Amino acid sequence: MRIVLVGPPGAGKGTQAAFLAKNLSIPHISTGDLFRANISKQTDLGKLAKSYMDAGNLVPDEVTIAMAKDRMEQSDAVNGFLLDGFPRNVSQAEALDEMLKAESMKLDAVLDLEVPEDEVVKRIAGRRICRNDSAHVFHVTYQAPKAAGVCDTCGGELYQRDDDSEETVRKRLEVYHTQTEPIIDYYKAQGLVVTISALGKVEDVTGKAMAALKGDGEGE
């Protein structure tokens, strides 16, 4: 299957992408991973992307598109892939359509993970990270430490990242609504969108997603 995964920040896209890709035996292609891989390997595209990032500028669509194209042409993606973070806007979606058309391929589904805005803010703004080890992550509501502000694992101080403040989260949601949400309408016009609620346990959301992708669950 060839799937695009969309949803607001805090919808659990990365977690769901990993489970779905494993269940469907297709590679999970994440924009973040693409950038990190190209930059660490110092590919031409990686150097180009880094030059924009170092200058504090957004990486142009054509660079992101070229990275995605290169990754989708690798042997493990021949029989399908799950795209996470790409396309991020309508022009990238159009470029993806052109890429696939050139290879006589098309998308099978666009999985839209729905989460109410207040829940997104609650999920992200409630995160607390350990200063000693960023892998130690807690949540004031869903996974509270035994002692407030103290890591259960190593006793380090727990803090809220600047990226996780409510103000920043709401700004990120604005960007999502403005730039990324329009691709849902773009794909709805092609009859590709399957919408599921991303509320509930991780495994329950995965189950709903798998059922919807097979055409026997909830969705549009």
- Known catalytic residue: 170? no
Residue 130, sorted as left (phi over 0), alpha (psi -120 to 50) or beta, turns out to be: beta
Active site residue 71: no
Q: Which of 13, 71, 122, 128 is catalytic?
A: 13
Neighbours of 165 (CB within 10 A): 14
Catalytic (active site) residue 161: yes
Selecting among 47, 106, 161, 214, the annotated active-site residue is 161
Q: Is 88 a catalytic residue?
A: yes
Q: Rounded to 10 degrees, what is the CA torsion of 171, 172, 174, 176?
A: 170
Which is catalytic among the residues 2, 71, 123, 127?
A: 127
Active-site residue, selected from the candidate residues 50, 170, 172, 188: 172
**67 contacts 92 by C-beta, under 8 angstroms:** no
Q: Which of 103, 79, 86, 70 is nearest to 17 (CA)?
A: 86
Answer yes or no: 13 catalytic.
yes
Q: Which of 50, 88, 170, 188 is catalytic?
A: 88
Residues 173/117, Cβ–Cβ less than 8 Å: yes
What phi and psi values does residue 109 have, to the nearest 5 degrees?
Answer: -165, 155
Residues tagged active-site = 13, 88, 127, 161, 172
